[in-house]
Chain A
Amino acid sequence: MSVRKDSSSRDGPPFGRILVANRGEIAVRVIRACRELGIESVAVYSDADASALHVRMADRSERIGPPSPAESYLSIPALIDAARRSGAEAVHPGYGFLSENAAFARAVEEAGIVFIGPPAATLAALGDKLEARRSAVAAGVPVVPGLLVPLEDPAAVDLSEVGFPAMLKAAAGGGGRGMRRVDRAEDVAAALETARREAISAFGDGTVYVERLVSPARHVEVQLLGDRHGTLVCLGERDCSVQRRNQKLVEETPSPAVTPALREALFDSARRVAGTVDFHNAATVEFLVDAGGSHYFLEMNTRLQVEHGVTELVTGIDMVAWQIRVAAGIRLPRAVTEPEPRGHAIEVRLYAEDPYDGFRPVSGRVGAWRMPDGPGVRVDAGVEADTDLPPQYDPLLAKLIVHAADRDAAVARLRRALDETLIGGVQTDLGFHRWLVDQPEFASGHYDTGLIGSRWGDGAALEDAAAGIAAAAAMAARRSSLPGAMPGLLVESTDSGWGRLARREAIR
C-alpha cells in the first residue's frame, strides 16, 4: 500500500489506487480527481499513447497493447490484466470505450475490483435502447412516437403511424452512432441496410428500430447522481442542442429553453427512468423537447458524460470525486443532495475536425497550443503543444468551459476565451465556435438541433478579410525567412496597399 497523500479527509481516501481505463482528456480529468482525493492513479496506454499527457500525469502506468482500440482500450482481458498487475482497487472507465459495457463491468467485479459505475446488470438493461424505451413507457415516461420492437422487414410494417421524416436507430447505439434519417417510405430499406452495417461494425449488434424525427427539437438532458443507499439527486439539466452528425458540440446549463415547470417535468421523468434499474453512480437521462415544450425520453447513460464540467461549475459539485466516493459506499451528503446552482456555464468541444469540410475528423500533429485562462475559464485538455494525434481515436482535443453570473456574461466570456485560443498543426472546430457565439440564435438562446444544418451547412465561405490577412501573414512569413530579412519590418517592393503602409511606418 502506498503512502496516502490525502490529509483533508479524516477517514482517508476511498480507495488506495484506481486504474483509469481510458485515454485523452477524460483520463486526465479522472487522474486529477484521484490526486485531489489522495488516491494513486494508474494510467493505461496503447503503443500510440506511450508518452501521452494522461500517462505522464498519472502516478504509474501500464501498457495494454497496440494502437488498435480493439486490442487496447477495448480489450477487456488487457485491462483486467493491467488492473491486477498494478494492484488497483477500483477501475474508472471514463466515457466511451468500455464505460457502458456490461461484460467489462462484470469482469472487473469478478476480479474482485470495484467498477466505478452501476452494476453490470444495469448496464446490460440500459445498453439496449429499445429495451430502455419499453421500460420508460412502462414507467409512464413519454417516449418519441415509434416502434417498440426491432425493425426487421420494412415491407411488413406500416410506418405511416410513425410518420416521416423518421429516424432509424441502432438498439445498441448511443453517442449519435448508428442513426439514419429517412424522409420517405421507399427509402427505408436502403437506410436500414446502412444503419445495420454501421451498427454491426460499431456495436456488434445490427438491431435497428424506428422513431419519428422530432424537429425542431432541443436536446436536453438531466444529470443524476445516486449512491448505494438509495439516494438519488438531480443536478440540473444541460442543453446539448448544438450538434453535428447527431453528436454534441456545445453544451450549457441551465437550458435557455427550460422553464421551471418543464424542469420539474424533466426531473420527474428522469427519476422515473432511473427507478427502472438498480442504479448508483453518475447518470444522464436524455430527452428531446419539441417546439410545444413536450419532452420525450431518448436514452439513459450510466456513466460520466463528456459535458459534466458545466454542471460542476454551476453546482460546485465535483462529480468525478463523488463517483469515486459513491463507488466506495459513501453516502451523498446534504451539500450534494441539495445543490444550489449558481450562474450559467457553457462548454465548447475543441475537436480535431474540419468544420469547413463537413466536420471531417483529421489526424496529424498539434503544433501551437495556447489555451485561454483568466476568470471563469476552465480547460480540460488531453493534449498539449507538439502532440501527435493517433488516427485510431476520438478527435476530441479539449473542452473549453466558461462560467459567469448569467447567460449573457457567459457568452461574452466564451467569446473572449475563444479569442485567446490558438491551435496550430491541425484544423479544428475553433472557428466554428467563434462563429457560433456571434449568431443571433445562439446569443438569444433560441436555437435547436437543426442550427448547424440550416445556418452553418458545410461551412461559411472564406471571407475576403480573412483571406487578405492570411495572404499578408504568409507573404511576411516568406519574406522573414529570406536571407537578410529585418525582423519585424515588412518591406514590400510592389505597390500594394500594405507595402505603402509599411513604408510609411518605416519612415515615421
Chain B
Amino acid sequence: MRGFEARIGGVPVEPAVASHFEWIDRARGIARLRTAEGDLELVVEGRGPSEWLVTVAGRRIAVSIQTWRERMLAEAEGSARAHAGPVEIRATLPGLVVAVGAEAGSEVSEGQPLITIEAMKMQNEVRAPRDGTVTEVLVEPGQTVATGTPLLRVG
C-alpha cells in the first residue's frame, strides 16, 4: 500500500490535506472527508481498484489512484494502443444517426463534423479526433446507436 499517486486526466494531482475518511453509505458511495477547510460530503464511486469517480460539489471527477507499477503498465498499454492502426470513433451518447458526412476514403481534418446523432431532439455533431483518412463508416442514417457503438474509423 506504499506510494499511491493520484491523477486526473493523466496529470498528477496533490491530494488535499485530509485527516479522516468514512463511508456513510458504502453501497452508493456516500462518504465524508475531513479536510483542513472543514468536513465535506462526497459521492465516491469505484470503477475497479484504481479508477474512481468522485463527485465534488456536483461535479463528477475521474481520478486514477495507482501505484508506480500500475501506472507504468497502464502507460505502456496506452502508448501501444495509440500507435497501432486506426482510431475508432464511438458514440458518446445514445441516439439516432441522422446524417453521415464522410465515406471511406474521405480526407478529414481534426474537428471536422463527420456524423450527426440526434438525441433528446438535439442534433449532436461527432467530429474527427485528428487529421486522417476515413477507413470505414460503420453506421448509416436512420440507425439507432447506443453509447459506445463504433461509428467510423479514421486511419
In B63-122, which residues have CB < 8 Å from any A CB?
63, 65, 92-96, 98-99, 118-122
Known: A177-B121, A361-B120, A489-B20. A474 touches B65 (CB 8 A): yes
Which of B19, B63, B146, B147 is in CB contact (< 8 Å) with A490? B19
Could you say which interface size class chain A belongs to?
Answer: 35 or more
Query: A497 to chain B: closest CB distance in Å?
Result: 5
Most buried by B among A177, A245, A385, A498: A498
| CB-based contact B93/A360 at 8 Å | yes
Chain A 476-508 against B: per-residue CB contact (8 Å), 1 yes, 0 no? 111111100001111001101110011011000
Query: A33 to chain B: closest CB distance in Å?
Result: 27
**Chain B residues whose CB sits within 8 angstroms of the CB of A432 once the complex forms:** 58
Q: List 9 A-B contacts (CB under 8 A).
A: A368-B28, A391-B147, A430-B57, A434-B57, A467-B61, A469-B56, A473-B63, A476-B18, A478-B65
**Chain B residues whose CB sits within 8 angstroms of the CB of A501 once the complex forms:** 17-19, 36
**Chain B residues whose CB sits within 8 angstroms of the CB of A368 once the complex forms:** 25, 28-30, 43
| CB-based contact B118/A391 at 8 Å | no
Q: How many Å lie between the Cα of A215 and that of B146 in the bound state?
A: 37
| CB-based contact A490/B21 at 8 Å | yes
Known: A391-B94, A478-B50. A424 touches B55 (CB 8 A): yes
Interface flag for A475 (CB, 8 Å): yes
| CB-based contact B1/A473 at 8 Å | no
Apart from A418-B58, A470-B54, list 16 A-B contacts with CB within 8 A. A368-B29, A428-B58, A465-B37, A468-B16, A469-B35, A470-B61, A471-B14, A471-B16, A473-B42, A477-B21, A478-B50, A487-B22, A490-B21, A498-B19, A501-B19, A501-B36
Q: How many Å lie between the Cα of A391 and that of B118 in the bound state?
A: 12
Interface flag for A59 (CB, 8 Å): no
Query: B112 to chain A: closest CB distance in Å?
Result: 15
Residue of B nearest to A368 (CB): B28
Q: How many Å lie between the Cα of A469 and that of B41 in the bound state?
A: 11
Known: A197-B98, A395-B120. A471 touches B49 (CB 8 A): no
Known: A472-B33, A490-B18, A501-B19. A466 touches B57 (CB 8 A): yes
In A178-221, which residues have CB < 8 Å from any B CB?
194, 197-198, 201-202
Residue of B nearest to A483 (CB): B1
Which of B3, B14, B54, B58 is in CB contact (< 8 Å) with A474? B54
Query: A371 to chain B: closest CB distance in Å?
Result: 13
Interface flag for A367 (CB, 8 Å): yes
**Chain A residues whose CB sits within 8 angstroms of the CB of B60 once the complex forms:** 426-427
**Chain B residues whose CB sits within 8 angstroms of the CB of A385 once the complex forms:** 28
| CB-based contact A422/B41 at 8 Å | yes
Query: B91 to chain A: closest CB distance in Å?
Result: 11
**Chain A residues whose CB sits within 8 angstroms of the CB of B41 once the complex forms:** 422
**Chain A residues whose CB sits within 8 angstroms of the CB of B58 once the complex forms:** 418, 421, 423, 428-434
| CB-based contact B19/A477 at 8 Å | no
**Chain B residues whose CB sits within 8 angstroms of the CB of A465 once the complex forms:** 16, 37
**Chain B residues whose CB sits within 8 angstroms of the CB of A462 once the complex forms:** 8, 59, 61
Q: Count the B residues whose beta carbon is within 8 Å of the partner chain — how many?
A: 62
**Chain A residues whose CB sits within 8 angstroms of the CB of B6 once the complex forms:** 471-472, 474-475
| CB-based contact A475/B20 at 8 Å | no
| CB-based contact B46/A505 at 8 Å | no
**Chain A residues whose CB sits within 8 angstroms of the CB of B20 once the complex forms:** 488-490, 502, 505
In A344-402, which residues have CB < 8 Å from any B CB?
356, 360-363, 367-370, 385-386, 391, 394-395
Which of B17, B49, B61, B119 is in CB contact (< 8 Å) with A466? B61
Q: How many Å lie between the Cα of A468 and that of B28 in the bound state?
A: 22
| CB-based contact B124/A360 at 8 Å | yes
**Chain B residues whose CB sits within 8 angstroms of the CB of A429 once the complex forms:** 58
**Chain B residues whose CB sits within 8 angstroms of the CB of A493 once the complex forms:** 1-3
Interface flag for B40 (CB, 8 Å): yes
| CB-based contact B98/A488 at 8 Å | no
Q: How many Å lie between the Cα of A504 and that of B34 in the bound state?
A: 14
Q: How many Å lie between the Cα of A212 and that of B42 in the bound state?
A: 45
Q: How many Å lie between the Cα of A462 and that of B28 in the bound state?
A: 24
| CB-based contact B21/A498 at 8 Å | no
Query: B17 to chain A: closest CB distance in Å?
Result: 4
